[in-house]
Amino acid sequence: MKMKLMRVAFRNIARNMRRSILSGSAIAVAAMSIVLLFALIQGMRDDMANNLKTYYTGEIRLQNARYEEFERYNPIHLTLDWEKIDPILAQESFVKAVVPRINFPANLYIKGTSHAVMGVGADFAREAAFQDTAAIVKEGRLPQAGRNEMLMGSALARDLELKLGDRVTLLSNTASRGSNAITLEIVGLSAFPVGALNARYVWVPLDRAQKFLLMGTDTQEILILLQPRTDEAEAASIIRNDILAITGVDTDTRSWKDINVLYSLIDIAQYIYYLIGIFFFLLGSTVIINTTMMVIYERMREIGTLSALGMQGHELTGLFLMEGAFISSIGAAVGVIAGMCITFYLGKAGLDFTDAMSGIDMEISSILYPHFSIWSALFVYVYAVVISTAATLIPSHKASKIEPVEALRYI
């Protein structure tokens, strides 16, 4: 009997191909949209995670235990003893790379006017283990240790009408809570993937920043990259305890996920997008419900004839469910494959949000690359088929309740 129902279902689908294509197209569009949406969100999450770990916090960040409490006051004086902590981190087998950095707000004085910027003191030799230092230089070169040089954001240089070789003066508060100034030559213009780093930041050699800010050999923070498959929270706890045991100094040692609230919000947003996905599928399913209801009224005499020949109500329900399952299977497959193809292309070409992201201080790159996941595509396909097939239950149930005599009255 099941084979007979399948043959009847295929015959009914082929008999009115326009109707079948309409129903399948609705499912295909919904499935394609969700595949693209999930790929974009995954690409955004991966991009933000990479940027946070590379440019902002590392996988683990060390700071003075009291720094966060007074962060709004720019407590440059709350530092870490880099010379004591570096050997400790070098002995940890799960540590892949370590870089010291100093972040300090400053003012650029150009032609008698002041411009607020964010300065970063960095050891560019060590930074090579964290990021592709050659790729971030749009023009010129990286600053060299021991020289009064800077790498300026390309967008910042454009806005201030500065170029390679120009000399600018930085003014900032020091670790002794006084003020100091330093004149630096622009030797490079940056091309970071994050727009904010090009629009507001200047990078200087770590030793120059330490001298300028009167920090001696101390640093403001230490960023750590871990070996693959290392538990970040556990590693942070081990590092904090080892530093405390050896130096007697407590530190604020946390993994990047514990530091960055925005990334947690992206995680929460992903579940919201799942709900949006359900909405898309339900919207597509209404087309199937509507189409199937129309089919029932168009095929009243057929339904009556089948009932008169002995087809039971549950068999009629099964017939319409099979038709819905066949249409949704094909439609979902077409939609998922189309979404995968578009995602693959955009994953190579990228989506350029440079204009839209200008002026927005977020840890997301100006060019996003959607990330394709075979598991998310499989989930979308199965979900689309299940939801769309289940959508035929309402009209199928209605069809099973129609009396043969009543159905045969329809012309």
The structural domains of the chain, with segments of one domain joined by +, span 2-53+262-408, 58-259
pLDDT computed for residue 400 by the predictor: 64
Which residues sit opposite 108 in a β-bridge? 115, 170
Are the CB atoms for 316 and 396 separated by under 8 Å? yes
pLDDT computed for residue 31 by the predictor: 82
User: Is pLDDT larger for residue 359 or for residue 389?
Assistant: 389
Q: What pLDDT band is residue 5 in, cutting at 50, 70 and 90?
A: low
pLDDT computed for residue 10 by the predictor: 66
The answer on pLDDT for 102 being more than 70 is yes
pLDDT computed for residue 6 by the predictor: 67
The answer on pLDDT for 390 being more than 80 is no
d(CA 82, CA 312): 81
Of the ranges 97-101, 215-219, 297-301, 374-378, which one carries the lowest mean pLDDT score? 297-301
Which residues sit opposite 188 in a β-bridge? 140, 151
C-alpha distances out from residue 208 to 57, 169, 170, 309, Å: 22, 13, 12, 93
pTM score? 0.75
Q: What pLDDT band is residue 297 in, cutting at 50, 70 and 90?
A: low
pLDDT computed for residue 266 by the predictor: 63
The answer on pLDDT for 358 being more than 60 is no
C-alpha distances out from residue 82 to 96, 248, 302, 391, Å: 17, 14, 84, 64
The answer on pLDDT for 334 being more than 60 is yes
C-alpha distances out from residue 108 to 89, 140, 201, 202, Å: 35, 20, 11, 10
Q: What pLDDT band is residue 357 in, cutting at 50, 70 and 90?
A: low
The answer on pLDDT for 410 being more than 80 is no
pLDDT computed for residue 328 by the predictor: 81
pLDDT computed for residue 318 by the predictor: 73
The answer on pLDDT for 331 being more than 80 is yes
The answer on pLDDT for 28 being more than 70 is yes
- Please give the mean pLDDT across all residues of the chain: 82
Are the CB atoms for 48 and 262 separated by under 8 Å? yes
User: Is pLDDT larger for residue 336 or for residue 262?
Assistant: 336
pLDDT computed for residue 309 by the predictor: 63
- The residue-averaged pLDDT of 214-230 equals 93
The answer on pLDDT for 148 being more than 80 is yes
The answer on pLDDT for 159 being more than 70 is yes
Provide the token pair at 226: 């871990």
- The residue-averaged pLDDT of 182-187 equals 94
pLDDT computed for residue 46 by the predictor: 83
pLDDT computed for residue 265 by the predictor: 65
- The residue-averaged pLDDT of 120-134 equals 89
Q: What pLDDT band is residue 285 in, cutting at 50, 70 and 90?
A: low
Residue (of 46, 30, 7) closest to 350 by Cα position? 46
Who contacts 409 (Cβ-Cβ below 8 Å, separation ≥6)? Answer: none
